[in-house]
């Protein structure tokens, strides 16, 4: 039987009178690649921060990896990985030192860290760069390294907030190979993106407009129901009704 690892019910966040995330209800299954889309200011980051246990909801319910977003935020943090565009990597440490540092933070043993270091240098093709400063790496490499570090502790879920900003489609595609591998290993991937080529790679997509989820289905089913041939067009049809923009 499939396992539900993210479950929200009417989850809402208000800032004063303004409702940033408005009563969102959805479920995500283990191993699923779930795309969380919406125009600027739609409320994606606000929602993701609640799911990661970083921001207390105003109302509604949510369980992440079985833990409650109001009372079990420390347990949530232990069971998830998180990567945003402003990576957590240290630019003035080498690749190897970054892996060792984050492995230590996540409580891996020295032996596990050594194994992960070897494995990551191989799978990321970073053999010749292990002793280079992260600040000197190309952006695409930094993104792959940041993702690998975010899942170094084999979390149940990894949250990715626009992980591939600023790189070309080929580099994005390589990044997505890592996402597929993680999903195959049973890690659930929750990803926000503005790139519609990436939306096509997701198992299911949620589309947010002005704080609400306006559509939720597989890319194929969404294209069929909107009677269009690309996710770009689905997005356009939904997002053009939006009244908000980011400030």
Q: Which stretch binds ligand ATP (CB under 6 A): 36-44, 81-89, 137-145, 151-159?
A: 36-44
- Among residues 13 and 144, whose Cβ is nearest to ligand ATP? 13
Token pair belonging to 46: 């606000």
Q: Does 56 bind ligand ATP (CB under 6 A)?
A: no
- Among residues 203 and 212, whose Cβ is nearest to ligand ATP? 212
The minimum distance between CB 12 and ligand ATP, in angstroms, equals: 12
Sheet harboring 67-68: ordered strands across?
Answer: 18-29, 4-15, 59-64, 67-68
Q: Which stretch binds ligand ATP (CB under 6 A): 44-52, 56-64, 149-157, 227-235?
A: 44-52
The rounded distance, in Å, linking the Cα atoms of 145 and 89 is: 8
The minimum distance between CB 38 and ligand ATP, in angstroms, equals: 5
Q: What's the burial of 212, exposed, middle or buried (CB within 10 Å: 0-12/13-18/19+)?
A: middle
Q: Which residues, in sequence order, are bridge partners of residue 133?
A: 94
# of chain residues touching ligand ATP (CB under 6 A)? 14
The minimum distance between CB 57 and ligand ATP, in angstroms, equals: 13
Interface pick for ligand ATP out of 31, 41, 81, 103 (rule CB under 6 A): 41
Q: Does 123 bind ligand ATP (CB under 6 A)?
A: no
Q: Does 2 bind ligand ATP (CB under 6 A)?
A: no
The rounded distance, in Å, linking the Cα atoms of 167 and 136 is: 16
Interface pick for ligand ATP out of 5, 6, 11, 42 (rule CB under 6 A): 42
- Among residues 35 and 103, whose Cβ is nearest to ligand ATP? 35
Interface pick for ligand ATP out of 3, 10, 15, 225 (rule CB under 6 A): 15
- Among residues 86 and 122, whose Cβ is nearest to ligand ATP? 86
Residues that bind ligand ATP (CB under 6 A): 15, 18, 20, 38, 40-46, 244, 246-247
């Amino acid at each position: 039987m499939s396992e539900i690892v993210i479950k929200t019910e009417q989850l809402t966040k208000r800032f004063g009178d303004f409702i940033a995330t408005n009563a969102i209800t959805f479920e995500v299954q283990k191993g699923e690649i779930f795309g969380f889309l919406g125009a600027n200011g739609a409320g994606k980051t606000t929602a993701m921060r609640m799911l990661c246990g970083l921001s207390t909801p105003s109302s509604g319910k949510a369980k992440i990896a079985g833990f409650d977003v109001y009372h079990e935020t420390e347990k949530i943090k232990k069971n998830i990985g998180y990567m945003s565009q402003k990576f957590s990597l240290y630019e003035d440490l080498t690749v190897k030192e970054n892996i060792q540092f984050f492995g230590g933070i996540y409580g891996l043993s020295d032996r596990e860290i050594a194994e992960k270091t070897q494995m990551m240098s191989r799978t990321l093709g970073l053999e010749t760069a292990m002793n280079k400063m992260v600040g000197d790496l190309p952006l695409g490499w930094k993104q792959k390294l940041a993702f690998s570090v975010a899942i170094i502790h084999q979390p149940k879920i990894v949250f990715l907030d626009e992980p591939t900003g600023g790189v070309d489609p080929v580099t994005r595609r390589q990044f997505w190979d890592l996402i597929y591998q993680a999903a195959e290993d049973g890690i659930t991937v929750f990803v926000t993106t503005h790139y519609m080529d990436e939306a096509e790679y997701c198992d299911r997509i949620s589309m947010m407009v002005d704080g609400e989820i306006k559509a939720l289905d597989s890319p194929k089913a969404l294209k069929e129901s909107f009677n269009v041939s690309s996710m770009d067009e689905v997005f356009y049809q939904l997002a053009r009704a939006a009244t908000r923009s980011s400030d």
